[in-house]
């Protein structure tokens, strides 16, 4: 538990130390160091995460598989990564390390464009970093690449955005959902809007159908699959969605990406209702909406500065997510798969 708290304290104290500043210069050297720390913690973890054994089994199963067989499997990006690491004589830790690099690079690309990137990192640690990137490797990479794409979209690089979303979909096909948000926010004309609806539909369908579409009704309706804590997770997206709507006038005045995040906010609000009917599928889709937490809370001290001082707002956000982290570590049903934290680097030293 100490490792997780230590990581949180680094980010939160950094966020509070710069809360009073309006313009924050982001040091490349400092963020490179932070990126290395995150990559090591995520990539060299040992038997940490609820799906550790499943990914280890997948790695071993593909050891003797042919390249053709690998190409025929779903989530080809991850399959190829596993195939190449096997072929080159590496182990599961190499796969996790490269996956962590992709995730962390995407996260930092999004963070460094924000008013208080350290506050955004603080928000990301309890769930996005610890639970998603360490627990769901494939979708963790997909979310990281989506964030990289969103950072490109913010710079009006739409083709680059599409590239990152396509790459994300090769790790988890449900990521195609996010193409719709890019088209809605930057595309013009009814045909592009129709295309956005098509991609949204594809993403929703693929979130329901992980492997076999024939089992859709059985797995998601008749069996009423329930993701542990799904409602709590969608609520974490729901709260910043409401804050975005509450501060929409200030947002439109100072930022030029309101349409994009407004669409994500609407999806986050809809998720709270939909999670009661298909929690697993909605939980899977909601992972791609987590960046709204990072963006809204990183900007909130500035947006709400006429109501509360930026320092006070920052402290409240830090306390809230600190409570989220502590409650999850101590009371979550699946937290035992993350505790104690073990890392191959430190195991080799002692």
Mean pLDDT for 107-136 is 95
pLDDT at residue 23, rounded to an integer:
60
Q: What's the confidence (pLDDT) of residue 223?
A: 36
Segment among 26-30, 175-179, 223-227 with least mean pLDDT: 223-227
Task: For the chain, give the percent of residues with pLDDT over 90.
Answer: 58
Identify whether 237 is part of a domain: yes
Q: What is the pLDDT of residue 64?
A: 77
Q: Is residue 76 part of a domain?
A: yes
Of 27-36, 98-107, 226-235, the poorest mean pLDDT is in: 226-235
Number of domains in the chain: 1
pLDDT at residue 337 above 70?
Answer: yes
Residues 84 and 277: their CA atoms lie apart, in Å, by: 40
Contact 138, 96 (CB under 8 A): no
Region 225-248: mean pLDDT is 86
More confident residue, 40 or 73: 40
Would you say residue 350 lies in a domain?
A: no
DSSP collapsed to 3 states, 238-285: HHHHHHHHHCHHHHHHHCCCHHHHHHHHHHHHHHHHHCCCCHHHHHHH
Q: Which pLDDT band holds residue 36 (cuts at 50, 70, 90)?
A: very high
Within a domain: 349: no
| DSSP string for residues in 137-185 | HHHHHHHHHHHHHHHHHHTT-HHHHHHHHHHHHTT-GGGGHHHHHHHHH
Question: For position 27, what pLDDT does the model report?
Answer: 81
**Which range among 64-68, 145-149, 291-295 shows the weakest confidence by mean pLDDT?**
64-68
Question: Stretch 56-62: mean pLDDT, rounded?
Answer: 87
Is residue 66's pLDDT more than 90?
A: no
Neighbour-count burial of 39, counting CB atoms closer than 10 A to its CB (0-12 exposed, 13-18 middle, 19+ buried)? buried
Say what the pTM is. 0.89
- Evaluate the CA torsion angle 166, 172, 176, 178 in order and state its sign: negative
Does pLDDT of 336 surpass 60? yes
Angle between helices 92-111 and 291-303 (to 10 degrees): 30
Please report the pLDDT score of residue 211 as a whole number. Answer: 40
Convert the pLDDT of each residue in 158-217 to its tens digit.
889 989 998 999 998 888 888 888 877 765 555 555 555 555 555 554 544 444 443 443
User: Is residue 214 situated within a structural domain?
Assistant: yes
pLDDT at site 308: 95
Position 226 scores a pLDDT of 47
pLDDT given for residue 214 in this prediction: 39
Fill in the DSSP letter of residue 229.
Answer: T
* Least confident span in 94-98, 124-128, 172-176: 172-176
Nearest one of 181, 183, 178, 180 to 165, comparing CA atoms: 178
Cross-strand partners of 45: 343
Contacts of 137 (CB under 8 A, 6+ apart): 49, 51, 55, 78, 95, 96, 99
pLDDT at 301 over 80: yes
The pLDDT, as a whole number, for residue 37 is: 96
Residue 343: pLDDT over 50: yes
Residue 321: the pLDDT is 98
Distance CA 289, CA 175 (A): 11
Mean of the pLDDT values across residues 291-297?
97
In a domain, residue 282? The reply is: yes
Q: Is there a domain that residue 240 lies in?
A: yes
Most confident option among 172-181, 220-229, 327-336? 327-336
Residue 314 sits in which domain range?
Answer: 2-344
pLDDT at residue 346 above 50? yes
Q: pLDDT value at position 72?
A: 72
Residue 170 forms part of a structural domain: yes
């Amino acid at each position: 538990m100490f490792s997780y708290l230590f990581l949180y304290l680094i980010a939160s104290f950094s966020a509070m130390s710069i809360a009073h500043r309006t313009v924050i210069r982001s040091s490349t050297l400092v963020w490179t160091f932070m990126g290395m720390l995150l990559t090591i913690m995520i990539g060299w973890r040992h038997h940490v995460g609820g799906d550790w054994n499943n990914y280890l089994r997948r790695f071993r199963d593909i050891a003797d598989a042919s390249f053709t067989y690998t190409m025929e499997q779903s989530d080809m990006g991850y399959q190829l990564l596993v195939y190449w690491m096997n072929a080159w004589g590496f182990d599961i830790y190499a796969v996790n390390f490269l996956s962590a690099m992709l995730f962390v690079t995407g996260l930092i690309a999004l963070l460094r464009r924000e008013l208080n990137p350290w506050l955004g990192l603080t928000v990301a640690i309890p769930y996005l970093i610890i639970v998603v990137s360490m627990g769901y490797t494939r979708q963790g990479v997909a979310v990281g690449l989506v964030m990289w794409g969103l950072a490109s979209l913010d710079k009006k690089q739409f083709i680059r955005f599409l590239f990152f979303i396509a790459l994300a979909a090769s790790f988890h096909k449900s990521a195609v959902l996010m193409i719709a948000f890019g088209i809605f926010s930057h595309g013009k004309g009814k045909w592009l809007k129709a295309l956005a609806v098509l991609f949204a539909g594809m993403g929703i369908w693929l979130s329901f159908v992980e492997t076999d579409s024939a089992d859709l009704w059985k797995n998601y309706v008749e069996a009423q699959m329930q993701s542990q804590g799904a409602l709590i997770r969608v609520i974490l997206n729901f709260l910043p969605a409401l804050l975005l709507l509450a501060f929409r006038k200030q947002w439109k005045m100072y930022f030029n990406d309101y349409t994009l995040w407004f669409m994500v906010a609407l999806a986050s609000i809809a998720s709270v209702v939909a999670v009661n009917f298909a929690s697993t599928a909605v939980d899977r889709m909601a992972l791609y909406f987590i960046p709204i937490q990072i963006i809204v809370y990183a900007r909130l001290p500035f947006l709400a500065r006429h109501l509360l001082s930026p320092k006070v707002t920052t402290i409240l956000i830090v306390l809230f997510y600190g409570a989220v982290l502590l409650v999850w570590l101590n009371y979550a049903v699946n937290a035992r798969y993350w505790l104690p934290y073990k890392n191959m680097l430190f195991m080799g030293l002692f």
